[in-house]
């Protein structure tokens, strides 16, 4: 009998490897022709589809030592599906290209497929196609699709002076988790708060339903926060030609400040830096017209004003953030 | 002034690199929201879309010494768009993920974008999104989409006994070109026939319009030939549960045999091997009901019979092909 945990992908043909993990992948509610032919066919009842693509490269976006292959699959799926939600769409379908060094265990690839399924199956998203190649470095290339269900797409460019800036989902947690993972290599055990932060980094939980809900509530601009609040708010401000002024963090995200405090104290850093510059939580940042009722899950983070286009003014209670060059965020 | 040809991607930020090549990419006739937001929005008037993905890895699928970056981009686009055509769909949209070693010249990335545009722009296909990452090895991950325009998708599984096997596009040319590229490293100049074969490998020209035309003509099964006629016919035979019997090559593809003869003679190989096992021309292999008029561009290659399911019987004039183990093609 073959010992699965020791079997390497180099021992299998492409067809054999595909046969191993295809049964682990979910068919979606929009899947009409699943993976296995030249192409899949996916329903797009709206008459439009939303599409976004990301590449994750080992030692750049993930390290095998940080967590399991299942975590890598779950994170790859989540961060891509967040881009669909950020347009106001409901995710429907995903395709995945893999580059695998010959020394990759077959079990690693199977677990990656399980991680994709962990995120996609509950949302009814199909993993409807893929491709495999050998290569020198692990790469996971994910393309996701979504259905606007009749909504106008919510772009980054619609924020106007007087609008309210709001956010749904976690903030600063993944950055705290990544900070914990560094020293952990030296053998330190995690306490509860640190373990939770690591979990938030390895398995981000974007608020997918908040995207369409924000669109329905009249959001004027939206994006997911992948590179940190300051940087991504700067992109939204730049695209919209407005200035964004952040509220004091003690007013806008007091619960997050308190939750991050134990980990921050242990590592000797200011939790404000994780809240302002930490990415990879893939929460949703949106603006709403003044007076609009924020949909469930969103809390106010600041305000939009004419001011200096593309500029984000840091919160009064994080003055050190003002030392960062804002030009970096004018993208 | 910066010398563009010497500038490496490591000298630019991701935003600066994106700003270099985004203007080189075409917007498509179905592009509603182009690249630049969290996701693109693409029209799918049919209410369904076709999707396929491929990864191309340096030293596995291409070598920088073989041709230009523009060739790599053109080939990446063509081989993916052929998968859309093979479903009977018209290509509409593409997204591209790139993994770039820091030593990649910026000019190489710009030329890759030009190659994508060379193929996509004339077809009205938009390059509607992308992602960049650093990495140790060049990877081009392409996902393509198409519109069935009301047609039923043509799968691999619909061939039935009595149907005719037909093919549109080039066959054996890319394999001949690849065979030429090996010895050329020793400094040999190409004659006309060899140069044409190399061109067919570097810039395959799939018969995109033949896909929807075949669907309209009642094709019962279809796929693109990426791994060679025998192997891919075997996949179609397996999916359909039928046997495929190939006609003598001297009857079915006499022009191709003649065109390949000079290059084959020079390299001391039998041109039949390129015709039967050479891939990467991305022609379309289809079956049609008996008596159906073959659409323009298709010529008969053989017949479908009940026989042994998944088996391809080699042409009588290529008896050496029968020595190949057919199990490899029962996928």
Interval A164-195: pLDDT, tens: 999 999 999 999 999 998 765 455 566 888 89
Q: Are A84 and B143 inside 8 Å of each other by CB? A: no
Give me A31's structure tokens. 């899947």
Q: Enter the tokens of residue B109.
A: 């990335």
Cβ–Cβ of B48/A57 closer than 8 Å? no
Asked if residue A330 has pLDDT above 90, the reply is no
- Please tell me the predicted confidence (pLDDT) of residue B325: 34
Of B45, B57, B87, the CB nearest to A47: B45
Interface of A with B in 136-165 (CB under 8 A): 136-137, 139, 141, 143-146, 148, 153, 155-157
Q: Minimal Cα distance from A158: which residue of B?
A: B37
pLDDT confidence of residue A329: 28
pLDDT at B39: 97
Residues 253-272 of chain A with CB under 8 A from chain B are: none
Q: Residue A30 and residue B265: Cα distance in Å, rounded?
A: 52
- Cα(A164)–Cα(A305) distance, rounded to whole angstroms? 9
Average pLDDT, integer, range A51-76 = 94
Q: What is the ipTM of this complex?
A: 0.93
User: Is A224 known as a binding-site position?
Assistant: yes
SS3 A117: helix
Tokens for B4?
Answer: 């563009």
Q: What is the DSSP letter of B291?
A: T
Residues 6+ apart with CB under 8 A from A8: A102, A103, A104, A105, A106
User: B93-126 b/e with 16+ CB inside 10 Å = b?
Assistant: bbbbbbbbbeebbbbbbbbbbbbbbbbbeebbbb
pLDDT value for B4: 55
Domain A164-329 fold: Phosphoribosyl-aminoimidazole Synthetase; Chain A, domain 2 (3.90.650)
Q: Is A280 one of the annotated binding-site residues?
A: yes
- Contact between A44 and A51 (Cβ < 8 Å): no
Q: Which pLDDT score is estimated for B288?
A: 98
Residue A225 distance to chain B (closest CA, Å): 10
Is B93 close to A155, i.e. CB distance below 8 A? no
Mean pLDDT within A104-117: 97
CA distance B160 to B173: 29
Q: Which residues sit opposite A100 in a β-bridge?
A: A134
Q: Quick check: A41 contacting B, CB < 8 Å?
A: yes
Which of A49, A92, A127 best probes binding to B when mutated, by most B CB atoms within 10 angstroms? Answer: A49
In this prediction, residue B2 carries a pLDDT of 47
Q: At what angle do helices A192-202 and A254-267 cross, to 10 degrees?
A: 110
Instruction: Please list the residues that pair with A57 across neighbouring strands.
Output: A139
Vertex A122: Cα angle to A116 and A126 (nearest 5): 55
> What tokens appear for B158 in the block?
């619909």
pLDDT, tens digit (0-9, with 9 covering 90-100), for A201-249: 999 999 999 999 999 999 999 999 999 999 999 999 999 999 999 999 9
Q: Are strands B40-43 and A48-57 parallel, antiparallel or unpaired?
A: antiparallel
**Is B38 in the A-facing interface, judged by CB distances under 8 Å?**
yes
Residue range A80-97, pLDDT digits in tens: 999 999 999 999 999 999
CA–CA gap between residue B122 and residue B120 (Å, rounded): 6
Nearest to B143 among A44, A133, A143 (CB): A143
Which residues lie below 8 Å from residue A300, measured CB to CB, with a gap of 6+? A164, A165, A166, A247, A252, A294
The reply, when asked if residue A320 is annotated as ligand binding, is no
Quickly state the pLDDT bin for A326 (edges 50, 70, 90): very low
What pLDDT score does A4 carry?
Answer: 55
H or E element in which residue B230 lies:
helix B229-240
Measured between beta carbons, the chain A residues lying within 8 angstroms of B83 are: 38-39
Contacts of A95 in chain B (CB under 8 A): 51-53, 143
- C-alpha–C-alpha distance, residues B221 and B163, integer Å: 10
Burial A190-203 (b: 16+ CB within 10 A, else e): beebbebbbbbbbb
Residue from the list A37, A133, A155 with its beta carbon closest to the beta carbon of B57: A133
Q: Could you say which residues from 161 to 220 on chain A have a Cβ atom under 8 Å away from some Cβ of chain B?
A: none
Instruction: Report domain extents, chain A.
Output: 4-147, 164-329
pLDDT bucket at A43, cuts 50 / 70 / 90? very high
| Of residues B316, B325, B281, the one with CA closest to residue B79 | B281
| Distance of alpha carbon B127 from alpha carbon B25, whole angstroms | 6
A227 appears as a binding residue in the annotation: yes
Q: For residue range A148-166, list pLDDT tens digits in order.
A: 999 999 999 999 999 999 9
Q: Do B164-329 and B4-147 fall under one CATH topology?
A: no
Residues 6 or more apart from B172 whose CB is under 8 A from it? Answer: B253, B256, B260, B271, B274, B275, B278, B281
What residues in chain B have per-residue pLDDT under 50? 1-2, 185, 322-331
Query: B326 to chain A, minimum CA–CA distance in Å?
Result: 15
**Which CATH number describes the domain made up of A4-147?**
3.30.1330.10
- Binding site annotation covers A152? no
Run of H or E residues at B285: strand B284-288
Helix A106-123 / helix A69-85 crossing angle, nearest 10 deg: 30
Token digits of residue B303: 């017949």
> Percentage of chain A surpassing pLDDT 70?
92
* Angle (nearest 5°) at CA B150 between B145 and B152: 85
Q: Is B12 on the interface with A (CB under 8 A)?
A: no
Alpha-carbon distance of B104 to B110, in angstroms, equals 11
Note whether A139 contacts B55, CB cutoff 8 Å: yes
Residue among A12, A14, A53, A83 with most chain B CBs within 10 A, to mutate: A53
Which residues of B carry a binding-site annotation?
38, 52-54, 61, 83, 130-131, 156, 224, 226-227, 280, 326
**Tens of pLDDT, residues B148-186:** 999 999 999 999 999 999 999 999 999 999 999 876 545
Angstroms from B243 CA to nearest CA on chain A: 19
Q: Are strands A298-305 and A164-168 parallel, antiparallel or unpaired?
A: antiparallel
Q: Are residues A141 and B145, on separate chains, in Cβ contact within 8 Å?
A: no
Residues of chain A in contact with residue B137, where contact means CB-CB under 8 angstroms, are 99, 135-137
């Amino acid at each position: 009998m073959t010992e699965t945990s020791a079997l390497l992908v180099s021992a299998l043909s492409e067809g054999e490897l595909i046969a191993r993990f295809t049964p682990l992948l979910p068919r979606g509610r929009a899947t009409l022709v699943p993976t296995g032919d030249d192409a899949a066919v996916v329903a797009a009842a709206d008459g439009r589809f939303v599409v976004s693509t990301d590449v994750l490269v080992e030692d750049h976006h993930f390290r095998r030592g940080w967590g399991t292959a299942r975590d890598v699959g779950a994170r790859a799926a989540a961060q891509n599906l967040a881009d669909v939600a950020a347009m106001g769409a409901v995710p429907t379908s995903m395709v995945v290209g893999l580059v695998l060094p010959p020394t990759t265990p077959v079990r690693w690839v199977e677990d990656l497929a399980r991680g994709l399924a962990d995120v996609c199956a509950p949302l009814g998203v199909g993993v409807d196609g893929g491709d495999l190649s050998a290569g020198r470095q692990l790469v996971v290339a994910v393309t996701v699709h979504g259905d606007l269900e009749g909504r106008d797409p919510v772009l980054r460019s619609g924020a106007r002076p007087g609008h309210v800036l709001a956010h749904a989902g976690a903030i600063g947690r993944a950055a705290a988790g990544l900070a914990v993972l560094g020293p952990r290599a030296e053998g330190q055990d995690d306490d509860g708060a640190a373990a939770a932060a690591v979990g938030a980094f390895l398995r981000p939980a974007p608020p997918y339903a908040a995207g369409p809900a924000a669109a329905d509530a009249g959001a004027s601009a939206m994006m997911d926060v992948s590179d940190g609040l300051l940087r991504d708010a700067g992109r939204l401000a730049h695209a919209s030609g407005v200035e964004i002024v952040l509220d004091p963090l003690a007013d806008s995200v007091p619960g997050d400040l308190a939750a991050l405090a134990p980990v921050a104290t242990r590592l000797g850093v200011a939790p404000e830096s994780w809240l302002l510059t930490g990415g990879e939580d893939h929460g949703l940042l949106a603006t709403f017209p003044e007076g609009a009722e924020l949909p469930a899950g969103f809390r106010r983070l600041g305000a939009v004003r004419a001011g200096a286009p593309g500029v984000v003014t840091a919160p009064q209670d994080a003055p050190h953030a003002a030392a960062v060059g804002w030009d970096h965020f004018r993208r």
